[in-house]
């Protein structure tokens, strides 16, 4: 596919180099057209090296090829990122002051803008009017992500992650003209990995969780346009790029981090394997094994029920205005026994905890933990039919995040 990648003059231009790499590694032929201001952030040499094509922003270069006409006519897809307030305004009013705006006027294929600017600029009436004008003409304009902006400010206006723009662009090229990032503008907190409860300075009580499912969920939420906070207990895999990471070890540390992060989160997904119990006492020195002493006795105490606390905090009268629409998703790693099967125990847990969705999997020594595949059933407090999702943990995560988007937007899930 022949893609024109327009680059606006914003600090987020550096992230577009990763987007370009995604396009080229997928086999697409990309011509980069940076604005003059964009070259102040990322130089022409970088765009040429990554694209393998010459780069210009002037209508007077290679005049014999009539680039200001040819590029727009030949492009199967045009992507503009970051789309600054200035670029949106020039595109909406049909200006043709450089090669990029000329190319946009000549476009015959789909066009996608990925905005990035300060919050006040994005929310300004002029920018909103320009966005609506472009959308009314059939141009796709993504919602920016929320998060840290230039300096200490935070809010909507952050460039979506390159992977999210890549997915949106390919969906648009495949004819999904109404494609939107389902979690754009949302803040999602996800816990991942397994907690470790210390016995002494060298030993701990832990579990088999690798963190793979939680990391896959963070990637899926990021690619859906969300600002993602990952609360990471022990994990065998690295945290993904483009998410904020808070590192914890114990259940009590995870509880503190989750309650703090939930205060301004639209979605909380508790995918971590949190220890139900911890030692009542932690030895300050290594517990020694001696022939003349009895076997040690370790007394365990219950850890807090973090999921239930999150639900109670959301439902508290003082939080109903700010968190009334917050979606809380729990994970249940269950085994059946003579008293009931996995879904029976999970259904009782959903009712007891009060979360909105419960993602249930049947665990064992060779199931789920540490594996690359998973099979889950998504139960809903609303009483909707259970939803099965199976495959790689990436595929399962995509199904869970799709369901989260449907719940937030009050869309009935497909059976």
Cα–Cα distance, 163 to 184 (Å, whole number)? 13
Cα–Cα distance, 198 to 235 (Å, whole number)? 17
State the pLDDT at residue 210: 92
Which pair of tokens denotes residue 207?
Answer: 């579990």
Report the candidate in 386, 331, 381 with the shortest Cα–Cα distance to residue 217. Answer: 331
Q: Which residues are catalytic?
A: 207
- DSSP letter, residue 285: S
Cα–Cα distance, 307 to 82 (Å, whole number)? 38
Cα–Cα distance, 221 to 161 (Å, whole number)? 11
State the pLDDT at residue 176: 64
Cα–Cα distance, 205 to 287 (Å, whole number)? 14
Taken as a whole, the chain contains a residue count of: 415
State the pLDDT at residue 343: 84
Query: Distance from first CA to last CA of the chain, Å, rounded?
Result: 34
Adjacent-strand bridge partners of 378 = 359, 387
Q: Are 398 and 220 in contact (CB under 8 A)?
A: yes
Task: Spell out the domains of the chain, with CATH numbers in brackets.
Answer: 2-173 (3.40.50.1950), 187-408 (3.40.50.10300)
Cα–Cα distance, 245 to 228 (Å, whole number)? 9
Q: What is the mean pLDDT of each run of 10 residues along the chain (415 residues)?
A: 95 95 96 95 96 84 63 89 96 94 92 92 93 88 79 78 89 73 86 96 92 93 87 94 91 97 95 94 87 82 96 90 88 73 86 94 57 87 90 90 88 48
Report the candidate in 357, 346, 354 with the shortest Cα–Cα distance to residue 413. Answer: 357
Q: What is the value of pTM for the model shown?
A: 0.70
């Amino acid at each position: 596919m022949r893609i024109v990648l327009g680059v606006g003059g914003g600090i987020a231009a550096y992230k577009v180099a990763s987007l370009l790499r995604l396009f080229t590694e997928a086999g697409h032929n990309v011509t980069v057209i940076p604005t003059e201001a964009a070259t102040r952030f990322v130089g022409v040499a970088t765009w040429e090296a990554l694209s393998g094509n010459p780069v210009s922003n002037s209508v007077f270069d290679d005049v014999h090829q009539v680039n200001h006409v040819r590029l727009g006519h030949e492009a199967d897809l045009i992507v503009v990122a970051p789309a600054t307030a200035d670029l949106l305004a020039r595109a909406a009013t049909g200006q043709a002051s450089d090669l990029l705006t000329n190319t946009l006027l000549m476009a015959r294929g789909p066009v996608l803008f990925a905005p990035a600017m300060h919050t006040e600029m994005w929310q300004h009436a002029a920018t909103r009017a320009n966005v609506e004008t472009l959308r009314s003409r059939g141009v796709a304009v993504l919602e920016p992500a929320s998060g840290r902006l230039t300096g200490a400010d935070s809010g909507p206006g952050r460039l979506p992650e390159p992977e999210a723009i890549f997915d949106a662009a390919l969906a648009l090229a495949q004819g999904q003209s109404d494609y939107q990032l389902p979690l754009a503008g949302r803040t999602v907190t996800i816990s991942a990995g397994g907690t470790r409860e210390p016995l002494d300075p060298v030993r701990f009580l832990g579990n088999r969780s690798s963190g793979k499912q939680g990391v896959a969920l963070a990637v899926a939420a990021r690619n859906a346009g969300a600002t993602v906070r990952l609360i990471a207990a022990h994990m065998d895999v690295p945290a993904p790029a483009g998410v904020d990471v808070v590192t914890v070890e114990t259940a009590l540390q995870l509880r503190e981090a989750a309650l703090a992060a939930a205060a301004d989160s639209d979605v909380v997904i508790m995918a971590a394997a949190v220890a139900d119990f911890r030692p009542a006492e932690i030895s300050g020195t290594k517990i020694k094994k001696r022939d003349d002493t009895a076997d040690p006795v370790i007394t365990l105490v219950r850890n807090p029920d973090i999921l239930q606390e999150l639900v109670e905090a959301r439902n508290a009268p003082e939080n109903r205005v700010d968190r009334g629409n917050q979606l809380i998703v729990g994970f249940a790693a269950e085994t059946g026994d003579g008293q009931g099967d996995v879904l029976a125990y999970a259904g009782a847990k959903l009712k007891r905890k009060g979360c909105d969705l419960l993602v249930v999997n049947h665990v064992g020594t060779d199931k789920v933990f540490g594996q690359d595949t998973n099979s889950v059933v998504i139960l809903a407090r609303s009483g909707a039919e259970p939803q099965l999702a199976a495959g790689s943990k990436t595929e399962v995560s995509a199904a869970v995040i799709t369901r989260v988007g449907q719940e937030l937007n009050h869309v009935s899930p497909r059976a």
